[in-house]
C-alpha cells in the first residue's frame, strides 16, 4: 500500500522542479514506467548501432569512415549511460539484455528498417537523430535524476550526429545527378518511419496525463512531432530535396505544417516484430552476447585468480 502522504510529498517535490533520486520513495507506477522507458531507450541505442555499423566498412571516404565510427561509438556509449541509469532502479544489465534477446523488451521501431545505400547514413543522422534529439532535449528536463543527467550528456554529444547527417545529404544533393537521386531515395524511405518514431498520436497514448504530471514524459508525441516537421521540411527544401508527403502544406494561420495521414498500421506492425529487419537485428545482438559469453567468463576467471594471488602475497 502506498502512503498517500508520501505520494503527496513526491508530487510536491516534482512540482517544485526537484529531481527524484534512486533511493527516494517513488510510486511503483513511476518506477515501472521509468524502467520501461529507459530500457527501451538503451536498447534502441544498442540496436541502432547495427543499421549504421553496416556502412562503416563501405564508407566512401576516409573522413566519412572516421566520422561514422565515432558516431556509432557514441551510440554504444549512450546505451551504456542508459543501462546504468536503469540499473539505479535495481534491474541489472544481464536481466535487461535477457529481455531484449527474448523479445519481451521493445526498442525504437525505426531500427527495423534496412540501410540500403550510403545516403541512408545521411538520412539517419539528419532525420532519426534529429527526431531523437527533440525528444531527448525534452527528457533532459524530466524528474528522475539519473535519466535526466544521462540525457543532458547524450544531448551534448549528439548534436554532431544530426549535423554530420545533414552534411552527408547536402553533399549528395549538390553532387552528381546520381548522388542526388540517392539522397532523395533515402529521404523517401526514411521520412515516414522518422515521423512515426516519435510515437503514436496523443489520443492513442492512455497514460499521458499522469506521466506528464510526474515529469516522466515532458511533451506529447504530437507536439514533438509538429516541431520536428516544422524544422525539417525547410531543411529539405534548402538542399533541393522534397519530403514524400503530397499533403504537406504550410499553414500560415497556425505557423505550422500540416501533414498527410500517417500509416499507424505499419508502425504497430513493426513494433510487433514484423518490420523488415526485426529478426536480423535481434539475432545479431543475441549472437554477439552468446559469442561473447566465454570471453566474459574468462575475464572473470582471470580476475579471481589475480585476487587470490594478491591475498597469498
Partner 1 sequence: MSQDSQWPVWEVFLQANPGISHKHVGNVHAADAEMAIQNARDVYTRRSEGISIWVVPANAIAASSPEDQGAFFEPSNDKPYRHPTFYKIPDGVKYL
Partner 2 sequence: MNIQEAKFEYLLRLGDSSLIIGHRLSEWCGHGPILEEDIALINIALDFVGNATSILAYAGQTEGNGRDEDALAYLRSEREFRNLLITEQPNGDYANTIARQFLFDTYMFFLYEELKNSKDETLAAIAVKSHKEITYHLRHTTEWMYRLGDGTAESHERLQNGLNDLWMFTPEMFDMDEVDALLIKEGIVPDLNKVKASWEKRVKEVIAEATLKLPETTFKQKGSREGKHSEHLGFLLAEMQYVHRSFPDSNW
Chain contacts with partner 2 (rule: CB under 8 A): 46, 49-50, 53, 56-66, 69-70, 72-73, 76-77, 79-80, 83, 118, 168, 171, 175-176, 178-179, 284, 287-288, 291-299, 301-303, 305
Report if residue 204 touches partner 1, rule: CB under 8 A: no
- DSSP run (H or E) holding 135: helix 129-139
Q: Which of 61, 94, 104, 176 binds partner 1 (CB under 8 A)?
A: 94
Sign of torsion over alpha carbons 139, 145, 150, 153:
positive
Report if residue 297 touches partner 1, rule: CB under 8 A: yes
State which residue, 26 or 72, has the beta carbon closest to partner 2.
72
Q: Which of 69, 114, 157, 163 binds partner 1 (CB under 8 A)?
A: 157
For residue 249, the SS3 value is: strand
CB contact burial 162-185 (16+ within 10 A = b; e otherwise): bebbbbbbbebbeeeeebbebbbb
- DSSP run (H or E) holding 58: none
Q: Which stretch binds partner 1 (CB under 8 A): 91-99, 217-225, 240-248, 277-285?
A: 91-99
CA 304 vs CA 48, 67, 289, 301: distances in Å? 34, 38, 22, 5
Report if residue 106 touches partner 1, rule: CB under 8 A: no
Cα gap 35→96, rounded to integer Å: 10
The distance of closest approach from Cβ of residue 56 to partner 1 in the complex, given in angstroms and rounded to an integer, is 17
The distance of closest approach from Cβ of residue 292 to partner 2 in the complex, given in angstroms and rounded to an integer, is 3
The one of partner 2, partner 1, none whose footprint includes residue 46, by CB under 5 to 8 A per kind, is partner 2
Cα gap 211→214, rounded to integer Å: 5
The distance of closest approach from Cβ of residue 62 to partner 2 in the complex, given in angstroms and rounded to an integer, is 5
Cα gap 262→201, rounded to integer Å: 10
Of 132, 133, 151, 131, whose CA–CA distance to 141 is shortest? 151
Q: At what angle do helices 145-173 and 177-196 cross, to 10 degrees?
A: 150
Residues 74 and 157 sit within 8 Å (Cβ to Cβ): yes
Report if residue 93 touches partner 1, rule: CB under 8 A: yes
Environment class of residue 302 by beta-carbon count within 10 Å: exposed (0-12), middle (13-18) or buried (19+)? exposed
Residues 61 and 126 sit within 8 Å (Cβ to Cβ): no
State which residue, 79 or 130, has the beta carbon closest to partner 2.
79
Per-residue binding string, partner 1, 8-27, x by CB under 8 A, is -------------x-xxx--
Q: Which of 73, 201, 207, 274 binds partner 1 (CB under 8 A)?
A: 73
Q: Which stretch binds partner 1 (CB under 8 A): 107-115, 176-184, 243-251, 291-299?
A: 291-299
The distance of closest approach from Cβ of residue 181 to partner 2 in the complex, given in angstroms and rounded to an integer, is 11
Binding site for partner 1 (CB under 8 A): 21, 23-25, 70, 73-74, 77, 80-81, 84, 87, 92-94, 97, 150, 153, 157, 293-294, 296-297, 299-300, 302-303, 306
Amino acid at each position: 500500500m502506498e502512503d498517500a502522504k508520501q505520494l503527496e510529498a513526491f508530487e510536491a517535490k516534482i512540482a517544485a522542479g526537484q529531481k527524484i533520486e534512486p533511493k527516494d520513495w517513488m510510486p511503483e507506477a513511476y518506477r515501472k514506467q521509468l524502467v520501461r522507458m529507459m530500457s527501451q531507450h538503451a536498447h534502441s541505442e544498442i540496436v541502432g548501432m547495427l543499421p549504421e555499423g553496416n556502412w562503416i566498412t563501405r564508407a566512401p571516404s576516409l573522413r566519412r569512415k572516421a566520422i561514422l565510427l565515432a558516431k556509432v561509438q557514441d551510440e554504444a556509449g549512450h546505451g551504456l549511460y542508459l543501462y546504468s541509469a536503469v540499473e539505479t532502479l535495481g534491474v541489472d544489465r544481464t536481466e535487461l539484455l535477457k529481455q531484449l534477446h527474448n523479445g519481451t523488451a521493445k526498442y525504437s521501431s525505426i531500427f527495423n528498417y534496412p540501410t540500403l545505400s550510403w545516403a541512408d547514413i545521411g538520412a539517419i543522422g539528419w532525420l532519426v537523430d534529429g527526431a531523437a534529439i527533440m525528444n531527448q532535449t525534452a527528457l533532459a528536463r524530466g524528474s528522475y535524476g539519473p535519466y535526466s543527467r544521462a540525457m543532458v550528456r547524450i544531448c551534448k554529444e549528439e548534436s554532431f550526429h544530426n549535423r554530420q547527417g545533414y552534411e552527408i545529404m547536402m553533399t549528395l544533393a549538390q553532387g552528381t545527378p546520381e548522388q542526388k537521386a540517392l539522397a532523395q531515395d533515402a529521404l523517401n524511405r526514411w521520412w515516414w518511419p522518422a515521423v512515426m518514431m516519435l510515437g503514436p498520436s496523443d489520443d492513442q497514448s492512455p497514460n499521458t496525463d499522469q506521466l506528464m504530471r510526474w515529469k516522466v514524459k515532458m511533451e506529447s508525441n504530437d507536439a514533438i512531432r509538429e516541431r520536428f516537421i516544422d524544422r525539417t521540411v525547410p531543411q529539405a527544401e534548402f538542399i533541393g530535396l522534397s519530403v514524400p508527403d503530397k499533403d504537406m502544406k504550410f499553414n500560415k494561420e497556425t505557423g505550422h505544417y500540416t501533414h498527410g495521414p500517417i500509416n499507424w498500421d505499419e508502425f504497430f506492425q513493426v513494433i510487433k516484430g514484423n518490420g523488415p529487419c526485426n529478426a536480423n537485428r535481434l539475432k545479431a545482438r543475441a549472437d554477439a552476447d552468446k559469442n561473447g559469453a566465454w570471453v566474459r567468463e574468462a575475464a572473470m576467471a582471470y580476475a579471481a585468480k589475480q585476487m587470490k594471488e594478491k591475498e597469498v602475497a
